Amino acid sequence: MKDIHLIRLRVNGREHELAVEARRTLADMLRDDLGYTGTHLGCEHGICGACTVLVDGAPARSCLMFGVQADGAEISTVEGLADGDRLSDLQQSFSDRHGLQCGFCTPGFLMLAEGYLAQRDSAGGGAEPTEAEIRELVAANLCRCTGYQGIVEAVLATARSRWQRAAGPGPS
Amino acid sequence: MTELGTRPQAVIGARVPRKEDPRLLRGQGRFGADMSRPGQVWARMVRSPVAHGRLRAVHTTRAAAAPGVVAVVTAADLPGRLEIPVRLDVQGIDLTDYLQPVLAAETVRYVGEPLAVVLADDPYLAEDAAELVDADIDAAPAVLDAADGRVAAEFSLGYGDVAAAFDAAEHVVRTEISIGRQGAVPLEPRTLLADPDPVTGRLAIFGMTKVPVFNRDLLASLLGMDETLIHVHAVDAGGGFGARGEFYPEDFLVPWLARTLQRPVKWVEDRTEHLVAVNHSRQQAHRLAAAFDAAGHLLGLRAEVLHDNGAYCRTHGIIVPELTLAMLPGPYRVPAYHGRVRVALTNKTPCGTYRAPGRFEGSAAREQLLDVAAGQLGMDRIELRRRNLLTPAELPCQRAMSTLGTDVVLDDGDYPGLLEAAAAEAGRLGYPVEVSRGQQSGRRRGLGVAAFLEKSGLGPQETADVVVSGTGAVHVYSGGTSLGQGIETVLAQIAADALGVDPAVVSVVNGDTDKQPFGGGSWASRSTVVAGSAVHAAALAVRDRATEVAARMLEAAPGDLVCEDGAISVRGDPAARVTLAEVARATAPASRTLRPGEPAGLSARRRFEVTHMTYPYGVHIAVVDVDPGTGQVEVLRYLVAYEVGRAINPALVEGQLRGGAAQGIGGALLEEFCYDDAGQPQSATFMDYRMPTAAEVPPIDVLVTQDAPAPGNPLGVRGAGEGGVSAAGAVLASAVRDALGLAGSVGQLPLTAARVHELASGGGR
């Protein structure tokens, strides 16, 4: 007997209502039930981070969460990053700095970085982002193609430009 | 060559943004698992939990009765006894007795071997039911050491009088090094979706990559179908690196089940399956001996290699040991050489190629030998290499050996020149200063150097179609496949250059067997070289045809026309011009521009044939810190210098080299498939199979040189896919050996913390 739950959640600002089995992972629910196939599964045990999405703004491995745990949550996936035809600054930065090759891990890195940068920003922006800080962040996920250099550079460039923008044309 | 590179805004050599990027960055890529079909059933493999034993029975009754189950099949249900043949012949050696059955029938030979397939309405139910399949196996002892394994093949390659060389030697240097079992491990696990069309009898396949036409033909012969009834669709692939896209048991089972059930069947592998099911690679033991004269010149080289091929010979047959032997002399002057390899079978996952197959292993062995020799001869490591590298005057150099069915003929190049350039670049970047500063402050810091030879551009052929449609859009249908390397962008640049159009109007389809039924696939760093040359030829043929048609439209002589900026115009009279779109429309079937009997359309198919490979070459230099207390190796600096002949897109070449180096750092320091005494895999998760993260990979410096255009293809390209990984084991072994001041070889790769700790405590060989 399947243990089915009726849940409601928002994905990229759009409301969804669905019946989901208790054991179904958030990743499978997003991909196969709701069609957000940009979230990828690389290991299904929480190491590679390809399935990273934002759950109420915080990065989470969607392979390690059940769909039912997202009841009432606001989920952000890679499909929500671009503004129509226009890539987000982070997406554009990945392309400019060759931060992707096969692109399978890319959605996970994008969401990881978006979550981190948003948290950093809401904590007051702090000091100017450094390479070491961003490299440590990027070390949370796995990529088999790029050697990480383009990813670190892309996230760092975006972090710096957002930090500078937030700081405004101040006395510094 | 024609007008390549003569236009003011050259497309070739430009850092054109990748055509693949927008869809991948938006999460709109089409990976195999992203595709679904109405009414599909999900497949789940049941795999052997035992490394070796007699398979008495596979009980499926409970599984078949489980909720949602559509079918459970075992070897008894298959249409006959099916084995997967070898794709790449080696020296005519017959491997028939060692082929893998699509499902085990009488004997299981490794943990992970497919025993049965469960089909269910939902992947969760399929997985539940698979756990109810009960395999009754009489376990037998597992053979885990290749030295104890059944010998599947034994052969030699070489040339010259090796015995005389050793007799005449002033110094004989010997060394041994073993490489651990590693794998390609792309981040996307394998997937396959097979969709039968009851009306046409056709079978659509999503998820086959690398060699789709070969796999289509093999599948057709196994299914007893006409090959043109199978349509392998182009998909995005989450990395290949040699392992993805070979024909595995699942590549028969999923399409066969779809055809049998007349329903779409979808299969998505999980990571643990991937780590025990997909080809492993690299595991080889090497014993080398070199004869030197008093001045340190190599007189002869002997190599004995023991190759652990796992439980079966798969599609790659024994190509990895053959490449090891054929490439082992590398870029050096080796007057006499004898290499012998024994290929043994063990109760572990079967093996195949992994990026730089045979070269990662052989370069590590040879470069350790040279480091040890430099110590014994009292010479500087770089000077010893300088003395022995083939000079430009000695090239081309034919070695009386063959590999991949072609003779080994090293083409043009300047090997010593690149060694100097790499050393100078490392100096400019401060590597030597960093080494001495670290050593002065008491650190165990070492410098590694390794020179190597690569190969690429394997023929025998590649075919490309170039079609211009009525909008002026250019369509390229190539036999390459997109595995993440950016080949769509590269081929678009090549076509755009030949046709004088913006790469933005060029679209490239790779790996669709209907669009390109004669493709050879993407492997062995061949696509830029052979697929690129085929696209180049087809695009030039389209340009010639467009010029001929435009001449009629403009009432001008074809020789007076130029093809640029998407239009054809009279030289010196830019007002007299027609766009490529207008020319394409003028070739429509009802067009009055066409002559009687002239075929309609603006398109061309061309085939590029090549007999010999081209040989890129390079140098890796690295700086490491070794913590003697923990055995931890930290890579501080890493330089890849690589001669690519010509970089179509330098950003992509650099990306290949950086990514390859990261994989090589994994192979040199971290990654190993381990087994316990019973043959149970101990590295079946990413917790245990340790791929490098951004914390282990430093920024990789690259020096891409384009000083030696390849003579064997019209673009002069040499291929860039493997130079980043090829010498990574060699250079990090060299650096660790230097840091620890070892007299002998490091003995083994990967240099895990435990091994380095042992070496640091005096446990080295």
Sort out which chain A residues have CB atoms less than 8 A from B33's CB and list them.
31, 37, 40-41
Among chain B residues, the shortest Cα distance to A150 is held by B655
DSSP B353-407: --SSTTHHHHHHHHHHHHHHHHHHHT--HHHHHHHHBPPGGG-SEEEEEEETTEE
The answer to whether residues A31 and A63 belong to one domain is yes
Among chain A residues, the shortest Cα distance to B484 is held by A102
Which of the four pLDDT bands, split at 50, 70 and 90, describes residue B533? very high
pLDDT tens per residue across span B30-61: 999 999 999 999 999 999 999 999 999 999 99
Write down the domain spans for chain B. 21-28+458-609, 32-141+189-236+244-277, 280-401+411-456+613-763
Are domains B21-28+458-609 and B32-141+189-236+244-277 of this chain identical in fold?
Answer: no
The chain-wide mean pLDDT, for chain B, equals 96
Q: In terms of Cα–Cα distance, which of B580, B525, B440 is closest to B717?
A: B525
Gap between the Cα atoms of B330 and B340, Å rounded: 16
Is 50 exceeded by the pLDDT of residue B100? yes
CA B531 to chain centre: 15
The answer to whether residues A128 and A145 belong to one domain is yes
Q: In terms of Cα–Cα distance, which of B456, B480, B472 is closest to B211?
A: B480
Q: How many domains does chain A have?
A: 2
Gap between the Cα atoms of B745 and B740, Å rounded: 11
Burial of B592 (0-12, 13-18, 19+ CB in 10 A): exposed
Which of the four pLDDT bands, split at 50, 70 and 90, describes residue B393? very high
Burial of B386 (0-12, 13-18, 19+ CB in 10 A): middle
Which of the four pLDDT bands, split at 50, 70 and 90, describes residue B669? very high
Sort out which chain B residues have CB atoms less than 8 A from A111's CB and list them.
none
Q: What is the mean pLDDT of residues B103-108?
A: 98
Gap between the Cα atoms of B170 and B166, Å rounded: 9
In a domain, A172, yes or no: no
Provide the 8-state DSSP code for B738.
H
CATH of the domain at A105: 1.10.150.120
CB contact under 8 A, B659 and A138: no
Gap between the Cα atoms of B655 and B528, Å rounded: 15
The minimal CB distance from B34 to the residues A37, A146, A152 is found for A37
Gap between the Cα atoms of B101 and B82, Å rounded: 6
CATH, domain range B21-28+458-609 = 3.30.365.10
The answer to whether residues A53 and A103 belong to one domain is no
Gap between the Cα atoms of B108 and B112, Å rounded: 9
Three-state DSSP at A96 gives: helix
pLDDT tens per residue across span B563-590: 999 999 999 998 999 999 999 999 999 9
Gap between the Cα atoms of B372 and B730, Å rounded: 12
Q: How far is B45 from chain A (nearest CA, A)?
A: 17
Is 50 exceeded by the pLDDT of residue B1? no
Sort out which chain B residues have CB atoms less than 8 A from A146's CB and list them.
655, 658-659, 662
CATH of the domain at A40: 3.10.20.30
- Count CB-CB contacts under 10 A for residue B170: 13
Two tokens, residue B311: 């439980």
The answer to whether residues A141 and A100 belong to one domain is yes
The answer to whether residues A74 and A116 belong to one domain is no
Query: Quick one: pLDDT at residue A124?
Result: 83
Q: In terms of Cα–Cα distance, which of B666, B718, B685 is closest to B355?
A: B666
Sort out which chain A residues have CB atoms less than 8 A from B636's CB and list them.
none
In a domain, A19, yes or no: yes
Q: How many Cβ pairs closer than 8 A exist between chain A and B? A: 174
Residue A75 is part of which domain span?
4-80
Gap between the Cα atoms of B742 and B375, Å rounded: 9
B723 φ/ψ angles, rounded to the nearest 5 degrees: -65, -20
Is 90 exceeded by the pLDDT of residue A126? no
> Which of A55, A80, A105 delimits the end of a domain?
A80
The answer to whether residues A32 and A76 belong to one domain is yes
In a domain, A43, yes or no: yes
The answer to whether residues A106 and A76 belong to one domain is no
Q: In terms of Cα–Cα distance, which of B450, B453, B172, B158 is closest to B299?
A: B172
| Cβ B686 vs Cβ A45: under 8 Å | yes
pLDDT tens per residue across span B687-717: 999 999 999 999 999 999 999 999 999 999 9
Which residues, including other chains, have CB under 8 Å from residue A118's CB and lie 6 or more apart?
A57
Query: Quick one: pLDDT at residue A170?
Result: 56
Query: Quick one: pLDDT at residue B8?
Result: 44
Q: How far is B138 from chain A (nearest CA, A)?
A: 32
- Per cent of chain A over pLDDT 70 is 97
Is 90 exceeded by the pLDDT of residue B345? yes
Parallel, antiparallel, or unpaired for β B748-749 and B171-179? parallel
Query: Quick one: pLDDT at residue B413?
Result: 96
Is 80 exceeded by the pLDDT of residue B132? yes
Which of the four pLDDT bands, split at 50, 70 and 90, describes residue B524? confident
Answer positive or negative: Cα dihedral of B646, B652, B658, B664: negative
The minimal CB distance from B20 to the residues A42, A48, A103 is found for A103
Is 80 exceeded by the pLDDT of residue A130? yes
Q: What is the mean pLDDT of residues B172-194?
A: 98
Classify domain B32-141+189-236+244-277 by CATH architecture: Alpha-Beta Complex (3.90)
Reported ipTM: the value is 0.97
| Cβ B300 vs Cβ B169: under 8 Å | yes
Rounded CA Rg of chain B: 27
The minimal CB distance from B271 to the residues A37, A44, A141 is found for A44
> Which of A80, A111, A136 delimits the end of a domain?
A80
Query: Quick one: pLDDT at residue B4?
Result: 39
Gap between the Cα atoms of B676 and B90, Å rounded: 32
Three-state DSSP at B152 gives: strand
B238 touches chain A (CB under 8 A): yes
Query: In B750-762, which positions are buried (b, 16+ CB within 10 angstroms) versus exposed (e)?
Result: bbbbebbbebbee
| Cβ B360 vs Cβ B667: under 8 Å | yes
B236 touches chain A (CB under 8 A): yes
- CATH 3.40.50.300 applies to domain B280-401+411-456+613-763: no
| Cβ B281 vs Cβ B357: under 8 Å | yes
Is 90 exceeded by the pLDDT of residue A172? no
Is 60 exceeded by the pLDDT of residue B3? no
Is 60 exceeded by the pLDDT of residue A86? yes
In a domain, A76, yes or no: yes
Which of the four pLDDT bands, split at 50, 70 and 90, describes residue B9? low
Query: Quick one: pLDDT at residue B5?
Result: 38
- Count CB-CB contacts under 10 A for residue B22: 16
DSSP B650-717: HHHHHHHHHHHHHHHHIIIII----B-TT--BS--STTTS----TTT-PPEEEEEE-SS--TTSTT--
Is 70 exceeded by the pLDDT of residue B497? yes
Tell which of B26, B36, B41 to mutate to test the A interface (max A CBs under 10 Å).
Answer: B26
Is 70 exceeded by the pLDDT of residue B2? no
CB contact under 8 A, A147 and B659: yes
> Which of A37, A62, A80 delimits the end of a domain?
A80
Sort out which chain A residues have CB atoms less than 8 A from B17's CB and list them.
95-96
CA distances from B588 to B203, B275, B584, B594 (A): 32, 52, 7, 8
